[in-house]
Amino acid sequence: MNRHAIRILILDDEPFMLKLLARMLANLGYASVSTCDNGRAALELIDSPDDSPNLILLDLNMPEMDGLEFVRHLVDRHYNGSLILVSGEDERMQEAAEKLASAYKVTVLGHLHKPASPEVLAKMIGKWTTPSQNKPRAEKKVYAEDEVRAAIANGELINYYQPKVRTATGQVMGVEALVRWRHPRNGMVFPDQFIGVAEANGLIDDLTRVVLANALDQSRLWQEAGLMLQVAVNLSMDNLISLDFADMVAALAAKAGVPPQTMELEVTESRLMEDLRIPLEILTRLRLKRFRLSIDDFGTGNSSLVQLRDLPFDELKIDQSFVRGAHSNEKLQAIFDSSLGLAKQLGMEVVAEGVEDRADWDFVRNRGCAIAQGYFIAKPMPAADLPAWIQSWEKDFLASLPLQNI
Ligand code: C2E
Ligand code: MG
Ligand code: MG
Q: Is the pLDDT of residue 139 over 60?
A: no
The pLDDT tens digits for 149-164 are 999 999 999 999 999 9
Compare 324 and 138 and report the one with higher pLDDT.
324
- Residue-wise pLDDT for 268-305, tens only, equals 876 666 677 888 899 999 999 999 999 999 988 765 77
Q: Which residues line ligand 1 (CB under 6 A)?
A: 162, 178-179, 190-192, 195, 208, 211, 234-236, 266, 268, 296-297, 320, 354-356, 374-375, 380
Predicted confidence at residue 1, as pLDDT, reads 60
Whether residue 370 is predicted with pLDDT greater than 60 in this model: the reply is yes
Identify which of 282, 352, 344, 358 has the alpha carbon closest to the alpha carbon of residue 322.
Answer: 352
Q: What is the rounded distance in angstroms from the CA atom of residue 30 to the CA atom of residue 104?
A: 28
Can you give the pTM of this predicted structure?
A: 0.77
Q: What is the mean pLDDT of residues 315-335?
A: 95
| Bridge partners for 110 per DSSP | 84
Residue 132's pLDDT is 64
Same fold, 7-125 and 145-400: no
> Which of 157, 161, 165, 178 is the best mutation target for the ligand 1 pocket, counting ligand atoms within 8 Å of the beta carbon and taking the most?
178
Please tell me the predicted confidence (pLDDT) of residue 390: 97
Kindly indicate whether the domain formed by 7-125 is annotated with CATH number 3.40.50.2300.
yes
Q: CB-based contacts of 333: which residues, under 8 Å, 6+ apart?
A: 326, 327
Question: Measuring from atom 3 of ligand 1, which residue has the nearest CA?
Answer: 297
Ligand 1, residue 192: give the atom nearest the CA: 30
More confident residue, 95 or 402: 95
Environment class of residue 33 by beta-carbon count within 10 Å: exposed (0-12), middle (13-18) or buried (19+)? buried
| Residue 275, pLDDT score | 75
pLDDT for 367: 97
Pick the CATH number of 145-400 from 1.20.1050.10, 3.20.20.450, 1.20.1250.20, 1.10.150.20: 3.20.20.450
Domain ranges across the chain: 7-125, 145-400
Atom 4 (ligand 1) nearest CA = 178
